[in-house]
Amino acid sequence: MRVLNSVVALREQLGEERSQGRRSALVPTMGFLHEGHLSLVDRARQLADLVVMSIFVNPLQFGPREDLAAYPRDLERDLALAAERGVDVVFAPSAEEMYPTNPPQVTIHAPRLSDRLCGRFRPGHFEGVLTVVAKLFNVIEPDIAVFGQKDFQQSVLIRRMCQDLNMPVQIEVAPIVREADGLALSSRNVYLSPEERRAAPTLHRALRAAQSLVAQGETDAGRVRAAAHEVLAAEPLIQTQYLELVDPLALDDVQQVRPGDVLALAAFLGRTRLIDNTVLG
Ligand code: AMP
């Protein structure tokens, strides 16, 4: 496995691979790898000859009061896990390498989709995400990029960016990997106290309550949301930030549930903000 920190060296390496006709798949991450990230590597491996992983805690997608400084990092461990899982190339740039002129003057903004769900509470977040993903696409020129359904809104925005800006990258979205008790794996789970960790699977239980109502034939979005809300409200350690039932393309609220609609939530456990979602129907 090669580990590269500079754009120039990476371009050189990948240019060579491309000239030999090897198709590449990119797995963008912020590191502190867990099985969720590694499942994306497995998917990438199935789809391409060369698996490239980026590890970069992107300052542009953190708000001023968010956890950029505290975000967990362990590059050495990440590199061992990536190598073991069969990643071919890791790109781990510094913030200066990615943003030599900071702040960038040209960014990617998708207000209509960004202002929904998480974006309502994280102004500028998706502008940061889209901008760094566009930069990674320009530097790496992958044929495929693999993202997780865990960050549902992010995957919708990235697909739309590729469509609207004619970026020739095939976007793949892999299912959410969970702990045995249902908690979605997240680098931020390490922030949870033991009590919060015990309460955290309630997020998934709430989504499951909604799912089973839909499986019984319920199509009224208000009643489906209420079923999930009731489960969340019963856990005093959870403060729900949003719980919304949306269509998977425009992210508009729906009144009648149709197959493919998504119930998405964000909630605080203490100071830790977690997200989760499920596809209904
Ligand atoms: P992050 O390092 O949190 O920015 O995540 C990098 C990629 O891993 C994103 O595409 C996430 O959606 C994906 N990811 C994070 N957690 C999970 C999970 N539990 N299951 C599947 N994919 C995940």
Q: Is 143 helix (H, G, I), strand (E, B) or coil?
A: coil
The pLDDT of residue 215 is above 90 = yes
pLDDT at 25: 98
State the helix-helix crossing angle for 152-164 and 125-140, rounded to 10 degrees.
60
Q: Name the pLDDT band for 281 (thresholds 50, 70, 90).
A: confident
Cα angle 37-34-249, degrees, rounded to a multiple of 5? 35
pLDDT at 13: 97
Q: Which of 54, 59, 63, 135 is nearest to 103 (CA)?
A: 59
Bond preceding residue 103 cis, omega within 30 of 0:
yes
pTM higher than 0.95: yes
Active site (catalytic) residues: 37
The 10s digit of each residue's pLDDT in 117-167 is 999 999 999 999 999 999 999 999 999 999 999 999 999 999 999 999 999
Protein residue with its CA nearest to atom 7 in ligand 1: 29
The 10s digit of each residue's pLDDT in 40-99 is 999 999 999 999 999 999 999 999 999 999 999 999 999 999 999 999 999 999 999 999
Cα–Cα distance for residue pair 5/195, rounded to 1 Å: 39
Measured in whole angstroms, the distance separating CA 135 from the mean position of its chain's CA atoms is: 17
Q: For ligand 1, say whether the CB of 150 is within 6 Å of any of its atoms.
A: yes
Atom of ligand 1 nearest to the CA of 184: 19
Cα–Cα distance for residue pair 103/96, rounded to 1 Å: 10
- The stretches of the chain forming alpha helices (DSSP H) are 7-19, 35-47, 75-85, 95-98, 111-114, 117-121, 125-140, 152-164, 194-199, 202-215, 221-233
Measure 229 CA to ligand 1 centroid, in angstroms.
25
Protein residue with its CA nearest to atom 5 in ligand 1: 29
Protein residue with its CA nearest to atom 12 in ligand 1: 148
Cα–Cα distance for residue pair 28/40, rounded to 1 Å: 9
Exposure string of 90-115, with b = 16+ CB inside 10 Å and e = fewer, is bbbbeeebbbeeeeeeeebebeebbe
